[in-house]
Structures are given as C-alpha cells and as structure tokens.
Amino acid sequence: MTISETVCRGSILDQNPAITIPENQKYDLVCTGCKTAYFNDRLKCDSDNGLLRTNYRNKKLELKDAPGIGKFHDWLPVNELITTDSGPVTYRSTELAQYLGLKNLFIGFNGYWPERGANIKTCSFKELEAFPTLSKFKNSGKSLVLASAGNTARAFAHVSAMTGVNVYIVVPGSGISRMWLPEEPTDSIHFIQMGNKCDYTDSIHLAERLSAAPGMQAEGGARNVARRDGMGTVMLDASIFMKRIPDHYFQAIGSGTGGIAAWEAALRLLEDGRFGTALPQLHLSQNLPFVPMYNAWEAGRRDIIKDIDMPEPKKLIHEMYADILSNREPPYSVPGGVYDALCATNGSMYAISNDAAKNGVTLFEDLEGIDIFPPAGVAVASLIEAVDAGKVKKDDYIVLNITGGGVKRVEQDHKLYKIEPSAYAENANVPLEEII
C-alpha cells in the first residue's frame, strides 16, 4: 500500500469548471479528479477514480411547491418532480442547546416525528437517497441492486413499494431485525438475506456480482449522485431555515457519503451567493472500536491502511453499538471523497465510545423528546466532545444531523410489516442462480 498523498488540496476541488450544459439538460457530471464533464448518466469517470459531481444549470436554488424533498428539485438529478411528503426537517433546539450552552444549535431531523413535520416513515435519512435514486431509475426497465446493513434496505424497499420499481437488496445477517416497512411489502421487493458471519462489506460484494447479471443495475453507493444530492438536502434545508450556511455540521458516518454530500451542497450554496461566503466545518464521527477513517485522518493520511486503521475488522464491528457505521471500503481516499471534504472544510473527525454514544441517545430523547438511532447518538456525543474541546463557540451556527429516529413514534401511528427474504446466501460467492 502506498501513501499517495498527504497534503490537503481541497481548494482545487472547490471550483466547478465553466462548462456549457446542453440546452435540454438540467445538469452535467464533472469528475472531481480530472474535471472531465459528462453529459450522460454514469457512475464512473473513464480516466480516473474520482467521484463524479453534478453541476446544475440553475445556480440559484428556487424552491418548488412540494411538501418534501421535491422542494429541492433544482438541485436533484431527476427530471420528474418528487411529490412525497418525506423530506429533511430543520428546527432550532432549545433544550439540548441550553444544556450545551449553545445559542444557535439547529437539528436536522431525519426520521418520523409528525409534530415537527418529519414524515420519514422508515426513520432514517436513507429515504432522502432512495426517492431521487428510484425516481431517476424508474423508466430504465431494469432492476436496481443494492447492499445494505438495514436502513438503506428499508428506505429503498419503501420507495419500491410506493413506485413499483424492482429492487434486489442484499442484507448481512445482522441487519435482519431492521427489515420492516410501514406498508405491506410488494412483489417488487427482492430481499436477499446473507449468513450470520457476513458483514455489510460481504453484502456489498454479493451485490456487485448480482448487478453484473442481465437486467440488473448497480445502485452505485457513494458514486450515485442521486444518493449524494438527496442526502445533501439536509444541508440545503438547514441553510434555508437559518438563512445562512452553518459554521459547523455534525454527522456520524459509516461510508461518509453524507459528509461528502453536505460539503457538495454547501459548495452549491456558496455559488448561489445568498447564503454566505464560507463553507461549514465538517465534524464527522465514527463509533469505536471500528474507526478506520478517524485513524487515517488523525495520522494525516489520504489512504486507509487496513492493518493499522482496522485490524481484525469483523471483530471490531461486532463490538460496535452503532454497528451500521461499519463500511470497510468507504469513499475516503478517492478524489472528491471524505478526505477531500475534510480538507476543504477544515474538518474534524471523532472516535466515539459505545458509552458516550448511548449517553447521546438517552440525552437527546430526554431533552428533545424523541427517540433516535444509535448513529445519531454518536453524532450527539461528537457535538458534546467538540463543545468540551472548544472546537465550537457558543454563538456559532451549528447543524446536528440526526440521521435517524422516531421508530417508537412511528409504531404508534402505523402498523409495521416484516419483509420476508426471497433468497438466502451463505456467503458472497454463492452461484447467482440461487438468489435471482
């Protein structure tokens, strides 16, 4: 393994090149590595490894008249307006803010909490990825393949049930308990359960094989701009609510896709010009003992070195409280990835213990009055750490992304249905005939 680059070079990536988008198109895709522009949808650059980023024709965001994520249509890579009431919600915290001595703490709540206008019935911000992705994919005539540790699976299954788009979802053994839906599962949902020894990364590998079969299409993970721009609406919603780009953005990460998305959304807001002139600092957190990105970042490395940053990954992942934050191959090193996002925003990483994360969950529920998921507890704990370390000042504008919550609340309003597996895979190398 080589250490290719240790110097931050964020500033080069901050500029979208001046290119002309064809008249009939809403956006083009620009490689964050080599700056090549592409006018057709694709997941990869022909010449390098860089993430492709959407460059929208409309530089000023005009909100559309839609109840949920569809408001942000201008900056979503879809042509049809998304009309769901599911979308990001921002509110100003009073209780947690007071507890932490913060004047301008804003919560990006991504879950179910109708009293606050939050209608994400599968209870995580993965729904913000699922709606744009499936909207874009709807007319392809293919089936979409993805891997998930649970929340993504639920979100994509839910949108599949609503739209009829076929999805094949590969879930590791540990994700089974998270496989429920707020409606009756439909035949468009194909759920492949993996063996108990398999983790999220095994399910990614099986999904990769499956997506190469005829009629199948890989969803793309962090490379899918519909996913990133969907998650980026949390930053957009918060900035519109606050009438400015925040000084700080806190989020727990497993892949870091949400962190990249927040950075990209902030770049668009800078270009828009009405929301300020500085990027927010990203504060991204992982859950001990599995913290590969934290380790690489603290060592000043663009590369994750497996033996140093995540020895015995399966053992470490098994010990995590927020085990869905466990991607072994995150988009950290790639151009336009997490490392670049942290460099460009003068960001920080946090390694949060299980106890601190559990405390974050309890504290948030006690003070703000809604149950949240373990990863969101990791983010709360990182905010506490930042306050204690003086990394944020009391007047700073802070967005805390509560990436999932409200399961207890959704159970009061909706009957939840279990999704039954349509196939079982002992490992990532099973013959595909067994699972299609």
Binding-site ranges for ligand PLP (CB under 6 A): 124, 126, 151, 252-259, 324-325, 373, 375, 403-404
Direct distance between the N- and C-terminal alpha carbons of the chain, in angstroms, rounded to an integer = 36
User: Judged by CB, which is closer to ligand PLP: 104, or 224?
Assistant: 224
Query: Least separation, in Å, of the C-beta of 311 and ligand PLP?
Result: 21
**Which of 104, 128, 107, 68 is closest to 365 using CA atoms?**
107
Q: How far is the CB of 287 from ligand PLP (least distance, A)?
A: 10
Q: 387 is written with which tokens? A: 């306050």
Q: Nearest to ligand PLP by Cβ — which residue?
A: 258
User: Least Å distance between CB 274 and ligand PLP?
Assistant: 26
Q: Which is nearer to ligand PLP, 108 or 289 (CB)?
A: 108
Name the residue type at position 140.
Answer: S
CA distances from 82 to 24, 128, 229 (A): 19, 11, 14
Residues 54/336, Cβ–Cβ less than 8 Å: no
User: At a CB cut-off of 8 Å and minimum separation 6, what does 49 contact?
Assistant: 33, 334, 335
The nearer residue to ligand PLP, 253 or 356, going by C-beta atoms, is 253
Minimal distance, residue 254 CB to ligand PLP, in Å: 4
**Closer CB to ligand PLP, residue 259 or residue 289?**
259
How many whole angstroms separate alpha carbon 213 and alpha carbon 434? Answer: 13
In the bound complex, what is the minimum distance in angstroms from residue 338's beta carbon to ligand PLP?
9
DSSP element (H, E) containing 92: strand 89-92
285-319 CB burial, b ≥16 within 10 A, e <16: bbbbbbbbbbbbbeeebbbbbeeebbeebeebbee
Q: Nearer to ligand PLP by C-beta: 265 or 435? A: 265
- Shortest distance, position 256 Cβ to ligand PLP, whole Å: 5
Q: Could you list the beta-strand ranges (E) of 228-336.
A: 248-252, 281-287
Which residue's CB is nearer to ligand PLP, number 268 or number 272?
A: 268
